[in-house]
Amino acid sequence: MTARGLLTPEHLYTLPVVSGCALDGEARRVAYACTIPDESANAYRGSIRVYDLDANRTTVLTRGNARDLSPAWSADGSRILFLSDRSGSLQLWAIDLGGGEAYALPSFDGHVTDFAVSPDRRLIAAVVVSAQGKRDVDARGWRRIARQRYRADGIGYNDSLPQLWLIDLVDGSSRALTDASGFVAAPAWSSDGAWLAYAAEKGDEADGIALHELWIAPVHGQGGPRKLLSLRGAVQTPAWSADGERIAFLGNDDPRGAYGLLNQRLFAVAPDVGEPICLTPNEEWTCADLTVSDTAAAGAPFAPRFTPDGSIAVLGTQSGATRVFVVGADLRIRTATPSAMSVSMFAPGRAGSFVCCAATASVPPELYEVSASGALRRLTTETKAWCEAAGVREPARLSVETAQGTIDAWHLACDAPAPRPCILQIHGGPHFAYGESFFFEFQLLAARGYDVLYCNPRGSQGYGEAFSSAIIGKWGGPALADCIASLDALVIQGATDERRVGVAGGSYGGYLTAWTIAHSKRFAAAVAMRSATNLESLWGTSEVGRFLNIEMGGSPAQISEIYRRNSPLTYAAEVTTPLLLIHGERDYRCPIEQAEQFFTALVQQGKQVELMRFTEADHGLSRTGPPRQRVARLHAIVDWFDRHLA
């Protein structure tokens, strides 16, 4: 790759992805992970690295054929703890900064999904999924299910629920802190190390996606865990204040807030009271990182952070970017990071600064330092050589006038003279957002001679709850109208050749792609990925099917006509656009039966359609799927548009 425009799907194998952002106690060094695909192993290799903010130098601590991630510091800053799959499953490991090889910490029969180190760094609270449940199922050959959400995309069947364990790093002992009657997540230590807070939910209706309860547990004293509070929407990612008098967490007290329809809010609660106070009751932005990308590391929601002055910093999605917002003791709110980048992780630094893992539309995730005055300093350069060789392009941000107001859109132009072929990309969710984040797929299409247009139509997050709620009971119409308005804007400019326009999207974006070609004849080719096409069957087969009760306004038994009216399958006879369906056979979010139904309907009516099935892929194929399958997917997309838009 020596000249602009030579980007190919295979260059995904050489793209590093930075994740993690752990500052040491003096805020002088930041630990992070750098992950890269391994083509030969069809897996990912990750190394733990440390950047010294004073010396401006990176030290690589781990190397080899393992995936190392999620670094955390020891109390004295002499070693780093991290997760690694080098023993076959994700377990806890450590490495001394003074030298030597990484070594295993006490391990579990299963795998670790998350961990938190106590303030004195003697104890680790780990979220562990036991392997025993899977072994029991394999031995007897059947599952007997009572819980509604009995499997999870990217994870598999919930044969064992995640539980909280304590590990003593001094004597090597471990003990379970919670039982197996529900889900737990996001452990957080009090500053004195005496208590743990965590999100949880017990009972048969606990679904593991939207946990509704905040629990605290004594670590050394008498008594067991106790439920501090519950909210009707969601409870996520607790964090303790330095004085131990407040626990901050993210959540929503409306059932519609469980799946992103409404804004996530920042709450604080006194651990001895249990009455939460919402600190962001009227903000139009949501306390979540919902700016999508195909190069960001997968992970759980990022917890709020208390700053030295007692303020609370939190990630929030607003107008196409995920930024760090700081809520002061007086409840005044300020933004701490620029609007032209999206932050995935951060840590409060020295003198009011923040160290962030962030991306822009033309730079994949890297580490940055943002001063109290807003000055931006790039720390790492893991992707610099890759971007220079790839000839990465910078999209233009557009304000598009629609019948209902103004929406944000982005135009990534190729080098061909206008008018050019254009591919409209549609994001998933539906309550996510495009914006200031890096997309390998978009850069690839531009390198192959296609303009790429992407926008945030009604239903997107980051523009207020009225905007995100505008598609309830009407998933297709309003969003399609906004997408068409964005396309019209390029046509009016003379940038786009109307005869050579394609459309593509994944998840809800795949849904809207199928909906679009059933309601518009403007598109010469389409690619619908991990799509939903029949909302009635999706309600019963998806791991999160119950969220359609909120999105449609009831269940299929109550409002079957609305489900049919909103399903692309209903309009299959109207499709004339050549369609490629791409789907993973292990997708539990939008099960493959969604693609199969639409494929069968189109084939039996003589339509031009193909179905590409990935045997080992789940819903996250484009972002976290096996590397060779990700590359094959990109080839299929490019080849399909080359065939029909040439």
* pLDDT tens for each residue of 262-299: 999 999 999 998 789 999 999 999 999 999 999 987 66
Q: What is residue 115's three-state secondary structure? A: strand
Burial 302-337 (b: 16+ CB within 10 A, else e): bbbbbbeeebbbbbbbbbbbbbbbbbeeeeebeebb
pLDDT one-digit tens code per residue, 532-541: 999 999 999 9
Torsion angle of the four alpha carbons 198, 199, 202, 205, in this order, in degrees rounded to the nearest 10 = -170
Q: Which of 244-248, 301-305, 350-354, 602-606 has the lowest mean pLDDT?
A: 301-305
Q: Mean pLDDT across the stretch 418-425?
A: 97
Are 464 and 471 within 8 A, CB to CB?
Answer: no
pLDDT of residue 222: 75
| pLDDT surpasses 60 at 5 | no
CA nearest 287: which of 239, 354, 352? 239
Distance CA 241, CA 329 (A): 12
CA pseudo-torsion sign 37, 38, 43, 44: negative
Tell me 10's DSSP state. Answer: G
pLDDT top residue among 489 and 147? 489
pLDDT top residue among 585 and 256? 585
Domains of the chain: 284-382 (no CATH), 387-645 (3.40.50.1820)
pLDDT of residue 3: 41
Bond from prior residue into 419 cis (ω within 30 degrees of 0): yes
pLDDT of residue 155: 79
Q: Mean pLDDT across the stretch 549-558?
A: 94
| pLDDT surpasses 80 at 450 | yes
List strand residue ranges (DSSP E) for 97-138, in order: 103-104, 110-117, 123-130
pLDDT one-digit tens code per residue, 474-519: 999 999 999 999 999 999 999 999 999 999 999 999 999 999 999 9
Please, what is the average pLDDT of the chain?
93
pLDDT of residue 355: 98
CA nearest 90: which of 162, 151, 153, 40? 162
Q: Mean pLDDT across the stretch 153-168?
A: 86
pLDDT of residue 2: 34
Q: Which of 212-216, 421-425, 505-509, 515-519 has the lowest mean pLDDT?
A: 212-216
Query: Which helix (H) or strand (E) is 500 found in, with range?
Result: strand 496-506
Are 252 and 265 within 8 A, CB to CB?
Answer: yes
The whole-angstrom distance between residue 333's C-alpha and the CA centroid of its chain comes to 25
